[in-house]
Amino acid sequence: MIGKISRDFFEKNIINRIGEIRKEVIVPPKNGVDVGIIKTGDKYMAVTTDPLYIDKTFGLKKAAWFAFHILLSDLYTSGIKANYMSIDLNLPLGMTDEEFNEIWDAINEESLKYHIEIVTGHTARYANTDYPMLGGVTLMGIGDNYITTENAKVNDKIIITKTCALEASVVLSYTFPEYVKNNLGYNALKQLHNMFYNMSCIKEEELAIDYGIDKITSMHDATEGGLLNSIYEIAVASDNGLLVYNDKIIIDENVKKICNLFNINPLRSISEGTLLITVKNEYASDFLNILRKNGIESEIIGEIREKSYGIKIKENSNYYDIRPEDDQFWSAIINGNKNNLK
């Protein structure tokens, strides 16, 4: 398996060995939960960690922006905004100072924009390190209250923002531009490239935080495994059932085209920038209107049910169980490289 480890591996090999259990850690590592939460006096600290993922295909400035927003999008799902960063930079021997400064300038600019201070880290050049994995980053934020996917409740509505398979589609269009242009046309390629800066959940997360986490019960970005894996994770983390309506799921037309071209299911492909939000039933329509008024395409796609209901998707008049599966994006990348696509 390529990419994030499976739920089974996590539960068999990691979660039963996490060191000393401390009472102030009130949200420890858990599948489908994007952050840890530590009680500090009368405040809560949210913590999240990810690789420093610099994909040179985008160009270094864009790649650094994307790496930063992957982390930030995760942290904001807690309902807490970021304050502090710790960063480990494992630099390739061949990286020039100019390349480093292009990456670091972008990280610094975004940190200033979101009021984050880099408080500690490690920087070195090592043999056998290379793009895209250039180290790791931890973000922390302190707030008066928090939410995680554990907080989704029965009767909550589920909102999706933007399109599913967002990241998969953008990355494939940048990685194999000639192939995409030759098969889908220049306009489709250009529109997919223009979706790059949609690969962040921050705008809608800030709207949710400002609306109130007494009304917003959870947020989860649809990353590894795509929309359906993320839906499954919300249900399991909150110990509930769930129903999603297939005909309500947003799939951009160019996303449909590129997913068909690479023979991947858009519901099962990585989608950084797509946010799933559970909202108390009585506030769902109001918050949906707020998202739309702020230019964020959104839709109510389902609701949280009792656990006994199961985790299901309705397609036409049929109901199917949702189960976790491997992300199909990686097979598209592997096959594209194997076939020397450009």
pLDDT number for residue 143? 97
Token pair of 297 as six digits: 């395409």
Residue 1 binned pLDDT confidence (cut-offs 50, 70, 90): low
- What global pTM score does this model have? 0.94
Task: With CA atoms as reference, report the closest residue to 140 among 195, 63, 85, 178.
Answer: 85
- The C-alpha atoms of residue 185 and residue 182 are separated, in whole angstroms, by 6
* Phi, psi at 280, each rounded to 5°: -55, 140
Q: Which residues contact 269 (CB under 8 A, 6 or more apart)?
A: 164, 165, 167, 168, 169, 226, 259, 327, 328, 329, 332
Give me the mean pLDDT over the 156-182 stretch: 97
Structural domains of the chain in order of their starting residue, each with its CATH number? 7-143 (3.30.1330.10), 149-338 (3.90.650.10)
Burial status of residue 16 (CB atoms within 10 A of its CB: 0-12, 13-18, 19 or more) = exposed
* pLDDT score at 70: 95
Condensed to tens digits (0 to 9), the pLDDT of residues 11-55 reads: 889 889 999 999 999 999 988 888 999 999 999 999 999 999 999
My answer on whether omega of the bond before 132 falls inside 30° of 0, hence cis, is: yes
